[in-house]
Structure 1
Amino acid sequence: MTEAPLSDPKALRALSHPFRWKLIQLLTEQGPRTATQCSEKLGESVASCSYHLNMLAKYGFVTEVEGPGRQKPWQIVRGRQSISPEGLEGEAAMAAEAAAMAYLDQEFERTRERLRQREHLPEDWRKSVGTEGHIKFLTAEETAEYLAELQAVLNKYDERRTDESLRPEGAKPVRVFLSVTVATE
């Protein structure tokens, strides 16, 4: 199921900060974490992590997990963010574009870093990771159909993200990034 794209300019601006995407990815891949744990993992100060987590919480992207103790872990509220300037105007369209560019910058940075570390992976993992690109000559309708088919494949195993009991032994967070673009004339 595809979520409606975000349209609130303030929420979109909250996602235009690259570090917030790092926090979202950390919480998505590793589950609930305190600001201190985020700081240790991302190399940013606790105060900065706390500030950015609070900004993400203000717009409903993360929430604190209730429990004992003073430091409460943060968790992801929604596993997917849909961002598009389509149908938006003015400030909202600019905020959507800024959020999308921040996401792409962070995604490419993370992909480059993980590919640099590929040699440190066990051989069975090295065979399964990398990048690939294809050119297809399709109509707009064929592209929509093709994308829907790919989305169905991408949705496989989604339940494992939120339910750790479904993860087989040896499962790791595997990032699959899909980009569909069309050349303009």
Structure 2
Amino acid sequence: MARSDPTWITDSTALRALAHPLRWQLVQLFDLEPTMTATRCAELTGESVGTCSYHLNTLARYGFIEPASASNGREKPWRSASHDISWRAGGEGLDDEGAMAAVALSDVAMDDLAGQLKAWFRRRSREAPEWADATGLSEAVAYVTPEELADLTRELRELANRFDERARDASKRPPGARPARIITSTSLRRSAEEDGSGA
């Protein structure tokens, strides 16, 4: 969930803490509901309240979420501590242990993303046409220099984040607005020679 000027997570223990499918799912849910209790998380994930409470406390320990207000004596409401969770798999600022943790987190995030995309395309035909027709998936191959690719990555990130303010402040959302997943990705494609496939 990178923003236009991300702060990179470089602590290997924090990366490992987030590289858990349920913890990653919980962090993602805070984009949809600004505050949640363990009970609400259990309703949304199908896990037990105790399990959700344990993982929420782990996320809080590493600074990903924080108490939203004082406990009412029964349950503690939580909120996201940051809308910026960014990491580099094997990039600068990571030792070997951190690089391994970052790869594990990337795997969890990509598995979750693939699952959500598949779920969307399975239910797309049941959505109102104006919503279904407003979505899309595209792929392109571009021959670019490192500088051009860096510029493109930055521009796509800025475009994807144009509605960030609405995620943080519900009062800024127009009537009828719904949460939409906007995905940007730039990566190097292996050549046919590198693949050894000739395709």
Q: What range describes the TM-score normalised by the shorter chain of this pair? A: over 0.9
| Of 112-121 and 168-177, the range deviating more from structure 2 | 112-121
Question: Structure 1 residue 104 and structure 2 residue 81: aligned?
Answer: no
Q: How does 1:78-97 map to 2 (within 5 A)?
A: 78-84=82-88, 85-87=90-92, 88-97=94-103
Query: Looking at CA atoms only, which structure, 1 or 2, has the larger radius of gyration?
Result: 2
Offset of residue 45 of structure 1:
0.9
Match for 1:63 among 66, 71, 91? 66
Answer whether contact 1:5 1:82 (CA < 8 A) is retained: yes
Q: Helix, strand or coil: the match of 1:100? A: helix
User: How large is the RMSD of aligned CA atoms in angstroms?
Assistant: 1.3
Answer whether contact 1:23 1:38 (CA < 8 A) is retained: yes
Answer whether contact 2:153 2:185 (CA < 8 A) is retained: no
Answer whether contact 2:70 2:76 (CA < 8 A) is retained: yes
Q: TM-score, normalised by structure 2?
A: 0.88
The Cα offsets for residues 40-62 of structure 1, whole Å up to 9 and x where unpaired, read as 11111111111111111000001
Offset of residue 27 of structure 1:
1.1
Offset of residue 104 of structure 1:
0.9
Offset of residue 66 of structure 1:
0.9
The Cα offsets for residues 138-180 of structure 1, whole Å up to 9 and x where unpaired, read as 1111111111211221121110011111000011111011121
Question: Structure 1 residue 76 and structure 2 residue 80: aligned?
Answer: yes
1:5 aligns to what? 8
2:197 aligns to what? none
Answer whether contact 2:71 2:77 (CA < 8 A) is retained: no
2:165 aligns to what? 159
Q: How does 1:125-144 map to 2 (within 5 A)?
A: 125-144=131-150
Residue 80 of structure 1 aligns with an amino acid whose one-letter code is D
Q: Helix, strand or coil: the match of 1:63? A: strand
Answer whether contact 1:115 1:130 (CA < 8 A) is retained: no
Q: In 1, distance between residues paired with 2:47 and 2:71? A: 25
Offset of residue 30 of structure 1:
2.0
Offset of residue 68 of structure 1:
5.4
Q: Helix, strand or coil: the match of 2:47? A: coil
Q: In 1, distance between residues paired with 2:157 and 2:26? A: 24
Question: Structure 1 residue 24 and structure 2 residue 30: aligned?
Answer: no
Q: In 2, distance between residues paired with 1:138 and 1:74? A: 43
Moved segments of 4+, more than 3 Å = none
Answer whether contact 2:160 2:183 (CA < 8 A) is retained: no
Match for 1:36 among 35, 39, 63? 39
Answer whether contact 2:160 2:184 (CA < 8 A) is retained: no
Q: In 2, distance between residues paired with 1:115 and 1:138? A: 31
Q: In 1, distance between residues paired with 2:70 and 2:154? A: 40
Distance 1:68 1:45, change over 3 A: closer
